Amino acid sequence: MSASAEMPYFIRPSLQLSAEDKKEAYKEALAAIDANLQGESNMILKMVTINCLLKTFLSYYYWVGFYMVDKGKLIVGPYQGTLGCLSIDFGRGVCGNAASEGQTQLVSDVHALAQGTQHIACDPNSQSEIVVPVFNSQKQLIAVFDVDSTEKHSFDEVDQAFLEELMDKHFGVEDLVYGYQL
């Protein structure tokens, strides 16, 4: 299924925030995340809650979600937005580079990148992107956290600082539970 530029009824374009409004929105979002995840250890529960609350408070968050490390590649995990690519090789795309380098990727204009190698366009409306590696308490890469905006230049060092701290706080913990117990 090829990605369409037409946004389904439940998706809206990004609304940029000023630097001050961005910091305030992150503080509110992180407070809501902490309140809802207190005492929780299940990884998937944390991921779906983080997706929902960040998208609720940050108006420029268009696609938000996790790609999970699985047998040496990335497969799509919990997300909110239009159809995400199902799997991504390490070293390919913004997500694959975040995974292979273990470093946050900040992209002000995804269309300035080589398509198919440096950037993978799951949704043609995506204009800028941030991807943050997610490590467990043993510093193993378990996922990458991917956010797209339909505006250029949506992401900067403020996003990077808040998101890196958030990922470490909720996934770099000893009691993280990866799955479910039947």
Q: Output the smallest distance, CB 182 to ligand SME, in A.
A: 30
Q: Output the smallest distance, CB 96 to ligand SME, in A.
A: 6
Contact between 147 and 130 (Cβ < 8 Å): yes
Contact between 50 and 4 (Cβ < 8 Å): no
Cα-only R_g, the chain: 15
Q: Which is nearer to ligand SME, 37 or 106 (CB)?
A: 106
Q: Output the smallest distance, CB 93 to ligand SME, in A.
A: 3
Binding to ligand SME by residue 63, rule CB under 6 A?
A: yes
Q: Output the smallest distance, CB 110 to ligand SME, in A.
A: 7
Q: Which of 51, 84, 125, 142 binds ligand SME (CB under 6 A)?
A: 84
Binding to ligand SME by residue 46, rule CB under 6 A?
A: no
Question: Please, which of residues 88-117 interact with ligand SME by CB under 6 A?
Answer: 88, 93-96
Report CA-CA distances (Å) from 137 to 36, 133, 141, 147, 167. Answer: 21, 13, 10, 23, 11
Q: Which is nearer to ligand SME, 37 or 48 (CB)?
A: 48
Total residues binding ligand SME (CB under 6 A): 15
Contact between 97 and 91 (Cβ < 8 Å): yes
Binding to ligand SME by residue 146, rule CB under 6 A?
A: yes
Q: Output the smallest distance, CB 156 to ligand SME, in A.
A: 18
Q: Which of 25, 43, 68, 120 binds ligand SME (CB under 6 A)?
A: 120
Contact between 147 and 11 (Cβ < 8 Å): no
- List the structure tokens of 19: 């630097």
Please tell me whether residue 73 adopts helix, strand or coil conformation: strand
- List the structure tokens of 45: 């529960």
Binding to ligand SME by residue 77, rule CB under 6 A?
A: no
Buried b / exposed e along 54-74 (16+ C-beta atoms within 10 A): bbebbbbbbbbbbbbbeeebb
Tell me which residues touch ligand SME (CB under 6 A).
63, 84-85, 88, 93-96, 119-120, 122, 126, 129, 146, 148
